[in-house]
Structure 1
């Protein structure tokens, strides 16, 4: 846990690795002193938390897939813009709760909160007690959930779903290079990792299935020979349904019945023209774990809805920059465990949580 207090500037009282016990954290919280100051710069404070709290040097385990949670408590409207910093946190996969009191602005809280379920606007500070049980239950359930294994699974079924619409024509070489690098980092083989590639725009098209190639060099050669599909509109929802019904099935080489992790890696350059929510939910119901990589023209909230959890949704300015997330994505992919019965607790957005990084964020501008 970490605690930050802000007014015109933000100050870290302790970071995520300062205290190792509940007793020490409670003692530190009880000794907090009011900061004071004007104005209230919530936007700058949100950016401060991203740059100085949710980082590895401060104890964040985001790169290990540990959920990152922010509780913002503010008593009024910000003097600066919050939208940019709030979006940056969402793109990082931080689940932000916005708790407004007294003179807080509803629209501003909506910008900050990860979803409407994570927004509380209270008339007075005393009403904090009314939401404390709900927030405490969320955290308690999260920390009591069994820690997932970090051992690499020896086998994975991985389907790449590539946006082949007209908008990605100039990006397709970079997209192929990304797929090539990810595949090259895998242990491809009939009894190891299997790979499939599907491209879509209006309609999806399978280039090769999970059981088409058994050697890595054959997969890499097939990736190099991919041609851009083209077409409009971008129907991501239909493509998600297609891979669920066509790619992740026994006849195409899927080993889902053996408990082999089923992984989808979606590369998208824009917002879908059709609904993705029901298709994404159906994939997750079938225990497919989606990862999403989108450019700035993609809808980050749509990407996070599709992804198995928000930290599995990556955002880059353009596909030429996609090399910056290669290692992180491969690391996450390799940590997807074999599907087996586990004691789990479902929280919030349907994510199974184990451990978490929690930042308590206080505004006490006078």
Structure 2
């Protein structure tokens, strides 16, 4: 996993501590009942001889009690279970049982003690990571559903846990470490999502497990709910109101961009898209790669779900042409003629904001001024994101006006979390601004029509955008209007 993924879960863990300062047993039961969010939960249980059959039955009863207090279902809480000793085995995957009754029946009748001389927790963590927290096993990670692992241990691990635990947490899984008796605190600290309660829980003996079940189920519900609160905090607030737009990303693919940098650009795209409200009636996105040749990746109507868009973006591979030519003007012309048109899913005629975001080094081998001006004239807001060494004056030929709002730079795309948020916010502000301005202009024109007794009908209006002061034209009369314009057709 890249180091920044590890830092991301660490940051999330630090932030979530703020939300979990209230003791779990003090949370009002009514507020828990009102929760609307669910998670995928996998129990990873010590099945070694250190537990013994009596301890095993008490762990089973503990899990039964916890599951009994959760709303289990295909679209609710999903439950998985695995055992570990010197090796690991699956009891059931997240998509095996989709009702609470099925889960509890298996636990009561078919769940048996594995046994084994040693406990290799690190190997067990790797096992559930590869076999349980994956889409094929029923994980809804790609849909944004919280992933929780409850690791129950009764002794020191006979292998190292830190590397496996880091990989699991870097993949977004929140680990609750429950230690019983001889379980070593140091292992718990390395495994836990955050190094304090409720992510680290310790009891002296198996007989203390059952009274803990209610607190554990409440902790799971609270962690699940706070996960969604945290997601909203990470998402710029203005992006929550930028609920409708058509956005095309133009990504440079030339010999000037090495494979490593292209992968970082791809990560940037994933992070940016993940804050948008993707949907057929919400935000639609398209993507075009450009260099010597133009490669359309997907159009506005290709995907209606965020997870499908992100899956496609993750699959993109770097294939630069050897001659290094950058046909940026051709790329701009292409999206004008093939993306921002009704047949490709553009909602320009419905007044939905049209956005183009170009990621570039700024060294163009063809004319960009004409195609960019033509794109802006049909109402498309054009943002340019320049990488290190890009000259802003070259981007002025492409970007909308004023340049300080539409020309953005990433000095070091590999360490650009703060800059990412700034870019996200600026573009979402642009979407909200266009939406509000157009709504006001439409209302004004409708009011003008209503008030004019001489008019029996009102003309249709369309928005136009120029790289500078914008004019409003109506019946050959010209009015100043800042950044947007409309005219009858």
Aligned residue in 1 for 2:60: 176
In structure 2, the partner of 1:325 is 212
Whole-angstrom distance in 2 between the partners of 1:335 and 1:62: 10
Shift of 1:64: 4.5
The answer to whether the aligner puts 1:223 opposite 2:107 as a matched pair is yes
Q: Which residue number in structure 2 is paired with residue 133 of structure 1?
A: none
TM-align CA RMSD: 2.4
The counterpart of 2:193, out of the listed 293, 300, 308, is 308
CA distance in 2 between counterparts of 1:151 and 1:270 reads 38
What is residue 278 of structure 1 aligned with on the other side?
163
Give the distance between the partners of 2:25 and 2:125, measured in 1 at CA: 23
Q: Any residues of structure 2 matched to 1:1-366 within 5 Å, and which?
A: 61=21, 63-64=23-24, 152=35, 154-169=37-52, 170-224=54-108, 225-309=110-194, 310-311=196-197, 312-336=199-223, 337-338=227-228, 340=231, 342-343=233-234
**Which one scores higher on RCO, CA 8 angstroms, separation ≥ 6?**
1
Distance in 2 separating the partners of 1:153 and 1:204: 33
Is the Cα–Cα contact under 8 Å of residues 151 and 335 in structure 1 kept in the other structure?
Answer: no
Aligned to 1:195, the other structure's residue is in SS state strand
* SS of equivalent residue, structure 1 residue 196: strand
Residues 277-330 of structure 1: per-residue CA shift (max 9 Å, x gap) = 111111110110111111120001211221111211111111111123222221
Specify the SS of the correspondent of 1:340. helix
The alpha-carbon distance between structure 1 residues 307 and 184, as it changes in their structure 2 partners (threshold 3 A), is same
Q: Aligned residue for 1:72?
A: none
Change (3 A) 1:320 1:65: closer
CA distance change for structure 1 residues 151 and 239 in 2, over 3 Å: closer, same or farther? farther
What is the rounded CA distance, in whole Å, between the counterparts of 2:209 and 2:161 in structure 1? 23
Offset, 1:332: 1.6
Q: 1:246 to 1:317 in 2, by over 3 A?
A: same
Q: 1:151 to 1:288 in 2, by over 3 A?
A: farther
What TM-score, normalized to structure 2? 0.39
1:62 deviation in Å?
5.0
Given that 2:65 and 2:214 are in contact with CA atoms closer than 8 Å, whether structure 1 keeps it comes out as no
Aligned residues: 203
Matched with 2:360 is none
Over 3 Å counting, the alpha-carbon distance change for 1:308 and 1:204 in structure 2 is same
Show CA shifts across 1:146-196 (max 9, x none): xxxx98452210001010001111300000000000110010011111101
CA offsets per residue over residues 87-137 of structure 1, 9 Å max, x none?
Answer: xxxxxxxxxxxxxxxxxxxxxxxxxxxxxxxxxxxxxxxxxxxxxxxxxxx
Unaligned runs of 5+ in 1: 1-59, 67-149, 345-366
Distance 1:64 1:317, change over 3 A: closer
Question: Compared with structure 1, are the counterparts of its residues 151 and 235 closer, same or farther at alpha carbon in structure 2 (3 Å cutoff)?
Answer: farther
In structure 2, C-alpha distance between the alignment counterparts of 1:153 and 1:301, rounded to whole Å: 35
Structure 2 match to 1:98 = none
Runs of at least 5 residues in structure 2 that lack an aligned partner in the other structure: 1-19, 27-32, 236-489
Please give the secondary structure, in 1, of the residue aligned with 2:78: strand
